[in-house]
Amino acid sequence: MAKKKQITIDDVAARAGVSTATVSRVLNGMNHKASLDTRTRIRSAVEELEYRPVRVGRALSMMQSPTVALLTPDTTNAFYASIADAIQTGTRRIGKAMILCNTREQAILQDAYIEEMRSHLVAGIALLGAVPSPGLERALADDMPIVFINRKSPYRADRPFVGIDNYAAGGDVAKHFMDRGYYPISVVRGPWDSSASRERFEGFRDALAASGHPIDPARVYDSDLSMESGYIQAEQLLSGPAPARAVFCANDPVAYGIYRRCGERGLSVPDDVALFGFDDNPLNEWLAPWLSTVSVPSVEIGTRVAKLFAGSGMASAREHPEQCIVPYQMVIRTSA
Amino acid sequence: MAKKKQITIDDVAARAGVSTATVSRVLNGMNHKASLDTRTRIRSAVEELEYRPVRVGRALSMMQSPTVALLTPDTTNAFYASIADAIQTGTRRIGKAMILCNTREQAILQDAYIEEMRSHLVAGIALLGAVPSPGLERALADDMPIVFINRKSPYRADRPFVGIDNYAAGGDVAKHFMDRGYYPISVVRGPWDSSASRERFEGFRDALAASGHPIDPARVYDSDLSMESGYIQAEQLLSGPAPARAVFCANDPVAYGIYRRCGERGLSVPDDVALFGFDDNPLNEWLAPWLSTVSVPSVEIGTRVAKLFAGSGMASAREHPEQCIVPYQMVIRTSA
DNA sequence: CTGAAAGCGCTTACAG
DNA sequence: CTGAAAGCGCTTACAG
C-alpha cells in the first residue's frame, strides 16, 4: 500500500553481503545457526534500510497469515467487546493481527465468515458465541484451528474452549435466591443453542430441584439476550396473580430491560422484585451499579484465547484440545 | 490453515483445459476477454473442485491484501463500536476483511499499528479518532490511503474525511440553550487534539459570543470523553456560588457521568441543570432515554468509509481526497 | 480470445 | 554456518 518501492529481504541480503536465506533465518531467530558477525551485519543492514518484512510474503510461503479471526455475535455488546479487546491485545503480543467479524448469531453469516477466513489463511479462529451450522461442522471435520469462547462447540465437545463453568454458576445463583428466601422464582434464559445459556439454566434448575423447590415450568421465559427481550418478557413476569419475586436473567442486558419495566410499573428492585444478571457487563459500573451478577473474567478469557494462537497456528492445541475453565465470581450488589 | 491440500487455480485450469491466466481473468470478471464456452467450463471446474482462491496469493501478486484496518480509540465505546460494525459490514460487501486495532488514544500505539498494517499490505486504513503522531505524519507523506473519521487529519487538512460539521452542531446547541434561556452555561469539552471536540467547542463558543453572551472561560472544563471524567468534573460544575444551569457535554458518556453526580447530589435534570450530549450513543435508547444530544449517523459514516476502499485501495480517493460531510440531527429529549 | 513465463517477498529442504 | 534454487498461489504484461 505504500507508494515507496518496497525494501525486500534481498536488499538486506545484498547490503549485508549474505544470502537471503541467511537473512531470513536470522530474522526468524534461528540464531544458533549464524555467526555473530553475520548477525550484526544483518542487523545493521536492517536498521540502515529501515527494512520491514512484507508479511504477505511469509504468509504465502508458510501458507498461514499472521492473523487471527474473531467471530462475535454482537460487536456492540460491551461484554463481548471487552473480550474482543483482550484478544486483540493478546494476539498483537504474539505478532498477529485480529480480523473482526460480526456473525449476528446467524448460522449463514457464521459459515460465510469461516469460509472467508480460511481463504485468508488465518492462523486460527476464535469463535465467540458459536451457533450450530453446517459450515462449522465441516470446518471442525477439516481440523481447522477453532477455539470456542463462552459457548462450547455444538459438535465435538472436546474442541478447545475457554470460559467459565456455567452450570456451577447457575447453581450458585439458585442457592443465593434460596438463602434470601425469594419466592416465587422466575428465570429468563437465553437461547437453547448456546451451551452457556443452557448450562446456566440447568445448573439453576437442578439446584432448585435438589433443594426441594423445583422451578415451575410456567415461570421459565426465553430471551435473545437483548435488553429488548428482557423488557418484553418483563410484562408477563411481573403480572398475573403471582408475579415473580426474583428473576434470574440470562445476562445483564436482559436485567436492564426488566429493570426498566419495573421502573415504569413503579416496582422497586429489590423490594418488590429481585434481579440477578450474568457476565458483569462493563456497563454495570456506571449504569447499573446496583445489579447483582456473575462476573465472567472477560480480560482473562481474551488473554487465554490469544495465547492459544501463539506459535504456528495452534498446532498443539489442535492435538491436545484444551478445555480452559476460568473462575467466575458472584457479585452481590443490591438488586438481589 | 486447512489440513486438506489446497486446491489451486492450476487445478481449475487443468480441469477446464485452459491456462491459469485465463482462469484468473475469468474469475476476476474480465469476461469480455473470454469466450462463453471457456467461461462455462471454468465455472463448472470451480464448482466441481470447490475451488476457493487463496487470497494471500493474489495479495502478494498485487502487493495489496484484501483487508482494511480500523484504528479506533476505544473498542468498548458503543458509538465507536457502531461505526466499526458498519465499516466491517461495508468492507465485507466489497470483499475485504477488517482488522481491528485499539489505539487507546495513544500516539505510540497508533504509530505501531500504522507500521504493522503497512506491512500487512492493507488496502487502506480507517482512522477513527486520530491523534497527532510522527508515524501518522510520515504515513501521510508516503501517501498511504488513510481515511479520517470523525476527527480530521492533524497534518494535511485535505485528506479524505468522513464525519459531520462539528462547528455547526456546536452552534446549534448554543442556540438551543439560548432559546431556553439557560444561564449560566458551562461546557465540558473533549481533548484539544481532536478536531471534532475542538470544533464543537468553537462553534458553541462563537455562537454564544455572537449573541452577546460570551462564555465565561472559568466555565470551560476538560474531559477525556469518559463517563469518569464527566463524573469528576461535575463536582466543580455543580458547586460554588453560581452552579451551572446548563452543560454542553463533549459526548454522551460525559453526560452520563454528570448525570450520575446530579443524582447523588439530589439535583434534578433538567429542572436544576440541563444536560446536552453528543453522538447519540446507541446506549441512550435503553439507558439514557432522557438525554438531548446531537445524533451522529454512525452507520452512514461506516458505510461511506467502506465505500472509499472499494476497488484497488482508494487510489481514486488518494488523488481526489474527499471530504464527506454527512448530516447530523439535533435530538431534543427531556434533559435540555 | 488465449497461453507461456516472469514476478510479487518470503521460507526451507538440500547440498556443501 | 551458509547459499542456490525451488516453491507458496496468484496476476499480468507480452506475444500470438
Under 8 Å between Cβ of B42 and B27: yes
Q: What is the pLDDT of residues B147-182, one digit of tens each?
A: 999 999 999 888 999 999 999 999 999 999 999 999
pLDDT of residue B316: 46
pLDDT of residue A174: 97
All domains of chain B, ordered by start, with CATH?
Answer: 9-53 (1.10.260.40), 65-164+298-327 (3.40.50.2300), 166-295 (3.40.50.2300)
For residue B64, pLDDT over 60 is answered with: yes
Stretches in chain A below the pLDDT threshold 50: 1-3, 315-317
Under 8 Å between Cβ of A294 and A173: yes
Residue A321 to residues A150, A158, A160, Cα–Cα distance (Å): 16, 6, 5
Q: Residue written as cell 442556540?
A: B175
- Strand C contact at CB of residue A218, distance < 7 A: no
pLDDT of residue A323: 87
- Environment class of residue A136 by beta-carbon count within 10 Å: exposed (0-12), middle (13-18) or buried (19+)? buried
Number of Cβ atoms within 10 Å of the Cβ of A210: 12
Q: Are strands A65-72 and A97-102 parallel, antiparallel or unpaired?
A: parallel
Q: Residue written as cell 540464531?
A: A31
pLDDT of residue B320: 56
Q: Could A120 and B144 be called an inter-chain contact, meaning their C-beta atoms sit closer than 8 Å?
A: no
- Sequence letter at residue B212: G
Point out the nucleotide closest to B60 (alpha carbon to C1′): C8
pLDDT of residue A43: 93
**Residue A109 to residue A87: CA distance in whole angstroms:** 21
Number of Cβ atoms within 10 Å of the Cβ of B135: 16
What radius of gyration, in Å, describes the C-alpha atoms of chain B? Answer: 25
- Grid coordinates in use for B137? 505524519
Comparison of pLDDT for B336 and A90, the residue scoring more? A90
With pLDDT > 70 as the criterion, what percentage of chain B qualifies? Answer: 95
Q: Residue written as cell 453446517?
A: A134
Torsion of CA B192, B194, B196, B202, to 10 degrees: 20
Q: What is the pLDDT of residues B301-315, one digit of tens each?
A: 999 999 999 876 554
CA-based torsion, B196, B124, A99, A300: positive or negative: negative
Q: What is the pLDDT of residues A203-218, one digit of tens each?
A: 999 999 999 999 999 9
In whole angstroms, D7 C1' to A290 CA is 62
pLDDT of residue A5: 74
- Residue with nearest Cα to nucleotide C5 C1': B21
**Residue A70 to residue A86: CA distance in whole angstroms:** 11
Under 8 Å between Cβ of A131 and A103: yes
Q: Which of A19-33, B39-53, B184-198, B288-302 has the lowest mean pLDDT?
A: A19-33
CA B47 to chain centre: 39
pLDDT of residue B6: 86
Q: Could A101 and B118 be called an inter-chain contact, meaning their C-beta atoms sit closer than 8 Å?
A: no
Comparison of pLDDT for B31 and A265, the residue scoring more? A265
pLDDT of residue A311: 74
pLDDT of residue B188: 97
Q: Which of residues 131-190 of A touch strand C (CB under 7 A)?
A: none
The answer for residues whose C-beta is within 8 angstroms of residue B5's C-beta and 6 or more apart is: none
CB-contacts to strand D (7 A) = A 17-22, 25, 32-35, 37-38, 60-61, 63; B 6, 8-10, 20-21, 24-25, 27-28, 53-54, 56-58, 60-62
Q: Is A287 helix (H, G, I), strand (E, B) or coil?
A: helix
**Residue B31 to residue B251: CA distance in whole angstroms:** 50
- Sequence letter at residue A234: A
Q: What is the pLDDT of residues B224-283, one digit of tens each?
A: 999 999 999 999 999 888 899 999 999 999 999 999 999 999 999 889 999 999 999 998
Tell me the average pLDDT of chain B. Answer: 92
pLDDT of residue A1: 46
The beta-strand segments (E) located in A91-160 are: 97-102, 122-128, 146-149
Q: What is the pLDDT of residues A78-114, one digit of tens each?
A: 999 999 999 999 999 999 999 999 999 999 999 999 9
Give me the mean pLDDT over the B30-49 stretch: 86
Under 8 Å between Cβ of A55 and A96: no
pLDDT of residue B2: 45
Under 8 Å between Cβ of B182 and B246: yes
Q: How far is B256 from chain A, CA to nearest CA, in Å? A: 8
Chain A residue whose CA is closest to B92: A101
**Residue A82 to residue A281: CA distance in whole angstroms:** 9
Segment holding B324, helix H or strand E: strand B323-325
Give me the mean pLDDT over the B65-86 stretch: 94
Segment holding B265, helix H or strand E: helix B252-265
Under 8 Å between Cβ of B24 and B9: yes
pLDDT of residue A319: 53
Under 8 Å between Cβ of A147 and A122: no
